[in-house]
Amino acid sequence: MRGWFDTIRIRATSSAGRTSEGGARGLSVSDGIYFVVGIVIGAGIFKTPSLVAANVTSAGSAMLAWMLGGVASLLGALCYAELASTYPHKGGDYHYLTRAFGGTVGFLFAWSRMAVIQTGSITMQAFLIGDYASRVASFGPHSASIWAALVIALLTGANIAGLEQCRVLQRVLTAALVLGLVLVVVAGLVLTPAPAPAAAAAATAANPAFGLAMVFVLLTYGGWNEAAYLSAELRGGRRAVVRVLVIGIGLITAIYLAVNLIFLRGLGFPAIAGSDAVAADLMRRAIGPVGVPLISVLVSLAALSTMNATIFTGARTTFALGQSFAPFQRLGRWHDGADTPRSALVVQGAIALALVLLGDVTRGGFVTMVEYTAPVFWGFLLLVGLSLFVLRKKDPDAARPFRVPLYPLVPVLFCGVCLHMLRSSLAYTGVGALVGVGVLLAGVPVLLLPRPRPRARGRGRRRAAEARR
């Protein structure tokens, strides 16, 4: 299958700050941090604290789980920091997997990211927005799906418009999200009375399962690895991505710990474990019924922030696929005027809209998309962790501006986390997981297509040379 993976050459310019695979280094370190924080701090923080509390035995165990989630994410971030600083490329994981394991694994990853991982994540957040928006303005029995499709179209259009518009939008959404979280913290500290001591003493889970609690925690921390797709567009040298990852994870961990402490202070551990909407319950207790619509707005901002950043980074993998896989070469075109991969964005948006239809037909919406993406995501993240070992052996002389500390312990621990999450995502999910794995396997027949004839490629090169003369 080697012939399929002949790289489509894109002429590099000598302009300062431009990358060899198209596009300029138009993002600062602070922009990168905005993107990472915006991706990770999604709507999950308003749902998963109660799920975590329901599977541990005490408030201390819950806080330990959230702290361990930050540590596990930092382990992964250190591994990604070495890969991204050594091999900066818009393709991110795709680029590392291809270098480590060859074009077949790289293609299957890019295929799954285009058809399962990113598009499923985009649609997941869109359904969440649709559920909340339908409480304000309903379009009938399919209202959530209609809202989801509208949001996907609008944010994809904003990314197609250009890098600058996307960058500004992400800053605004992330700033609004963080401000909203600060307001929740302030409300919990100032306006909410402490729960009764008797209630706090009753904090015990009926069927504790710390491993399952960690599944929810790590799902809430998910998305920090998207910084790899920004590495080729970050200013400040190859170590810039290290700063983005470490600072971003540090901020996210601090925010998650603060928010959970406020939930514990304002509601108490038993109330959190039994809540379906912990943030709404806190705001209702703090400022009355008006707090519920405020939380709905905050959840929508969180989902919009995650969606916009996911659309941005997801299109970069599709762009890399188009550069390296001849049948999809149209996806590898970079629009210099807008400084975006427009064709990749259009295709990504179309697939996400198709997944909206799937979620509507199954009546599962958000839950269907969670099941659809989880096993494929964690399976490939495990391979990325393993690629660090492979690339150190295959490419020992490469310049590595950053090396993982305590090697090989850190990547071994990271791979262990990924393996646990892969097993859990298969054990705790339903039919959606089977559909996601099926779509991944559907990429295999594409690899079996006949290869281009070398002679035909040679004639093409000669014709191109004659045309230039």
Q: Which residue has the higher pLDDT, 320 or 52?
A: 52
Q: How far apart are the first and last CA of the chain?
A: 33
The encoded tokens of residue 27 equal 């993002």
pLDDT in tens, 374-429: 889 889 999 999 999 999 999 999 989 889 999 999 999 999 999 988 887 787 66
Of residues 291, 309, 306, the one with CA closest to residue 187? 291
> What integer pLDDT is reported at residue 449 of this predicted model?
64
Interior angle at CA 121, CA 131 and CA 223, nearest 5: 120
Residue type, 137: A
Res 450: pLDDT: 56
- Rounded to whole angstroms, the Cα distance separating 118 from 309 reads 10
Q: Would you place residue 14 in the very low, low, confident or very high pLDDT band (cuts 50, 70, 90)?
A: very low
Q: For tokens 């890019």, name the residue.
A: 110
Tokens for 465, please give them: 């040379």
Tell which wins on pLDDT, 469 or 436. 436
Q: What sign results for the dihedral spanned by CA atoms 40, 429, 415, 436?
A: negative
How far is residue 364's CA from residue 207's CA, in Å, rounded to a whole number? Answer: 26
Rounded Cα gap, residues 3 and 324, in angstroms: 10
DSSP line for 156-181: HHHHHH-HHHHHHHHHHHHHHHHHHH
**Least confident stretch, 30-39, 153-162, 206-215:** 206-215
Distance CA 88, CA 238 (A): 7
What distance in Å separates the CA atoms of residue 40 and residue 225, rounded to the nearest whole number?
Answer: 9
Query: Residue 323: exposed, middle, or buried by beta-carbon count in 10 A (0-12, 13-18, 19+)?
Result: buried
Q: What are the tens digits of pLDDT across the range 269-315?
A: 888 888 766 777 787 777 777 777 777 777 788 788 888 888 887 88
Residue with tokens 């941005």: 312
Tokens of 81: 């920091």
What letters, b where the CB count within 10 A reaches 16 and e where it falls short, cover 164-197?
eebbebbbebbebbbebbeebbebbeeebeebee
Round the average pLDDT of the chain to a whole number and report it: 78
Look up the pTM and report it: 0.75
Round to whole Å and give the CA distance between 368 and 128.
Answer: 12
Q: Are 224 and 249 in contact (CB under 8 A)?
A: yes
Q: Which two tokens stand for residue 161?
A: 């418009």
pLDDT for residue 202 is more than 60? no
What Rg, from alpha-carbon coordinates, does the chain have? 23
More reliable by pLDDT, 202 or 381: 381
Distance, CA of 252 to CA of 33 (rounded, Å): 10
Query: What's the angle, vertex CA 425, arms to CA 430 and CA 376, rounded to 5?
Result: 95
213 — pLDDT class (breaks 50, 70, 90): confident
Least confidently predicted of 46-60, 241-255, 316-330: 316-330
pLDDT for 215:
78
Chain-centroid distance of CA 130 in Å reads 19
- 222 φ, ψ to 5°? -60, 145
User: How far apart, in whole angstroms, are the C-alpha atoms of residue 184 and residue 279?
Assistant: 8
